[in-house]
Amino acid sequence: MTFSKRSLITLLILAIILGASYYFFATRGITYIWHWEKIPEMLFYHGAKSAEDAVPRLRMGILMIGFVLTLKISVFSILFAIIIGTIVGIARLSNEPVTKGLSLAYVEVIRNTPLLVQIYIIYFFVGSLLRLSAFAAGTAALSIFAGAYVGEIVRAGIQSIHKGQMEASRSLGMGYAQAMRYVILPQAFKRIIPPLAGQFISLIKDSSLVSVIALADLMFQGQQAVARTYHAFEIYFTVAFLYLVMTFTLSMATQYIERRLAISD
Amino acid sequence: MIEARNVYKTFKTPDRREVKALVDFSTRIEKGEVVVIIGPSGSGKSTFLRCLNRLEEIDSGEIIIDGIDIYGKKVNINEIREEIGMVFQLFNLFPHKTVLENVTLAQLVVRGRDKEEATKVARGLLRKVGILEKESVYPSQLSGGQQQRVAIARALAMHPKIMMFDEATSALDPEMIGEVLDVMKTLAREGMTMVVVTHEMGFAREVSDRVVFMDEGQIVEEGTAEHFFTNPTHERTKLFLSQIL
C-alpha cells in the first residue's frame, strides 16, 4: 500500500515536469501556435460529406478513416502471419531437406531485407503481375514479413516442449500431425504468447510503411492532413496516440489471454 | 506375442562415439506373461522397450508382435502403437488438459470413439486406478504417484494388448511408489502382457513370470524371480543384485 502511494506521487511529479517542459519548449523554443481544436473534426464530425452525399450525420474524419484501414490491414496481416508462421515453424523442424531448406531460405531472405523494399517489390512487381490491389499487396507484404519472425517464434516454442510429450502422443497411436495439433502446438502457443505479442505490436507500427504505396492508412491520412492544414505537431501526436490505442489494446488482450491460459499451471 | 530376433541398435553420441545399446538381442514374450527387465543404467533395457513401439529405430534384426514384423515396409506403426500402451518414467501427461481429457484424447482422435463412450471408458479406468475424484483437475495439481496412475489409465484407455513400463516408479517419492505398483500388480493379475523395466525387486518377486538381467545390450541371465534371489549364476548378476538389494 505504501509502495503504490509512493509510486503514484512519483508519477504525478514526473507528469508535472513533463507537462511543464512540453509547454516551455513547444511555445518558447519555436514560434508555433497550437490548434488542438482542429483535431476532433479529423476524428469525427457531424455534417455533409459532399454535394452528392449531403445528408448531415455523424461521419468519420480523415484520421479515423486512416485508423480503420490500419486496423483492418493489421488484423488481416496478423491472421495470415500466424498461419504462415505456424507452417514455417513446423517446416523448419522437418527432417526432409527440401522443406527444411526452403523454410530456412524464406526466413533468412525476409528477415535480412528491409520491409520497405519488400513492400515496393510486392506492390510494383508481384502486384502488377497478379493485378493485386494496394490493400492486398500491403497485407501480403506485412504478412510475409511478420510470418518469417512468427515462424522462428513458433519453432522455438515447439522446441521448448519436452520431447516426452511427442513420445507419449505417438505411443498412444497418434500420427505426427495429430500430436502436433492436439498436444504440442497448444502448449507451444501458450508459451510463445509474450514474444508473439511483441511481434504483432511491431507489425501494427510497421504497417505505417504501407503509406508509400498510396494506401490511405493512418500514417498516410496524417500526412495528408498535415499537408492540408500545417498542424503538424497536433496531428502527429494524435496519430501516435491512435497507434498507441491499437498496440496497447493488443498488449492488454494478450495479458488477459495469458492469465486465462495459466489455469492449468 | 512379442519376438525379438538378433536386434542391433547403436546410438551416436554428440562427440561421434558409437554406443552399442542392443547387441544381437533376442527374446520371446508370451501372451499374458509379465516380464521384468533389470540391469545397470546404460544396459539397453529402456532402449529395448522403445524399440518395441518404434520410438527408436533398430539398426538390424527384427521384432515381431502378434505376427507382424513391425519394421516391415508396409506396416502402419500408428496401428501397432494403439495395441501397445507405454508408461514413462516422467509420466508425460498432457499439462494443458485435465485428467479426464488426458484419458479421452487418444480415444477420440485415434480410436474414433464418440465423446460419451470415451468419457465412460475413462471414468471406468480412473476409478480402477483410484483417482476418479480428480478427473477435472490439471496434472500440475496432482502428486507424482497420482500423475503416474493417470498415465496408466491413459494408456489402458486404448485397450492395448501389451503394456510397457519404463522405470514407472523411478521418479516418485518413496511413499508414492506403492500406489503405482499396486495398480501394476492388479493389471498383472488380470492377465495383461507386461514388459516392465524397474528396480523394484519386490514387484518382480510378487508378480513377474520371468526376470531378465541385461548388461551391455545383451541378456546376461534370465529366469524366475525366485532364481534371481536364491541362486543367480553369473558374477555380473550377483554384483548387480548385491548393489540394489
* B42 lies within 8 A of chain A by CB: no
Average pLDDT of span B110-122? 95
* Nearest of A226, A227, A253, A228 to residue A238 by alpha carbon: A226
Instruction: Note the pLDDT tens digit of each residue in A188-245.
Output: 999 999 999 999 999 999 999 999 998 999 999 999 999 999 999 999 999 999 999 9
Least confident of A76-80, A144-148, B90-94, B206-210: B206-210
Q: Which residues of A touch B140 (CB under 8 A)?
A: 264-265
The pLDDT value given to residue B228: 87
Are B73 and A168 spatial neighbours (Cβ–Cβ below 8 Å)? no
Alpha-carbon distance B5 to nearest alpha carbon in chain A (angstroms): 22
Q: How far is A22 from chain B (nearest CA, A)?
A: 50
- B-chain CB neighbours of A265 within 8 Å are 95, 138, 140
- Residue A29 vs residue B192, higher pLDDT: B192
Residue in chain A nearest B155 by alpha carbon: A172
Does position A96 have pLDDT exceeding 90, yes or no?
Answer: yes
How do residues B119-149 score in pLDDT, each as one tens digit? 999 999 999 999 999 999 999 999 999 999 9
Tell me whether residues A172 and B138 touch, CB distance under 8 A.
Answer: no
B171 touches chain A (CB under 8 A): no
The mean pLDDT value of chain A amounts to: 92
**Interchain proximity A172–B140, CB inside 8 Å:** no
Write down the residue that cell numbers 527387465 correspond to: B37
Beta bridge partners of B68: B65
Choose from B46, B49, B54, B81 for mutation: most chain A CBs within 10 A: B81
Considering only residues A5 and A104, tell me which one the structure prediction assigns the higher pLDDT.
A104
Residues facing B212 on adjacent strands: B37, B222
Cβ–Cβ < 8 Å for B122, B153: yes
Interface test with B, best of A171, A187, A264 (most B CBs within 10 A): A171
Among the partner-chain residues A164, A190, A264, the one whose CB lies closest to the CB of B92 is A164
0.90 surpassed by complex ipTM: yes
Residue B234 pLDDT more than 80? yes
Question: Alpha helices, DSSP H only, in A34-179?
Answer: 40-43, 62-92, 97-111, 115-120, 127-130, 134-160, 163-171, 176-179
The minimum CA-CA distance between B110 and chain A, rounded to whole Å, is 6
pLDDT tens track for B42-66: 899 999 999 999 999 999 999 999 9
Is A2 a residue whose pLDDT tops 80?
no
B158 confidence band (pLDDT: 50, 70, 90): very high
Confidence of residue A23 (pLDDT cuts 50, 70, 90): confident
- Interface check for B170 against chain A (CB to CB < 8 A): the answer is no
Question: What gap in Å lies between CA A100 and CA A88, rounded to an integer?
Answer: 9
Distance, CA of B240 to CA of B37 (rounded, Å) = 13
Residue A27 has what pLDDT? Answer: 67
**Cα B4 to the center of its chain, rounded Å:** 16
Position A29 scores a pLDDT of 63
Are A172 and B158 a contacting pair at CB < 8 A? yes
pLDDT > 80? residue A3: no
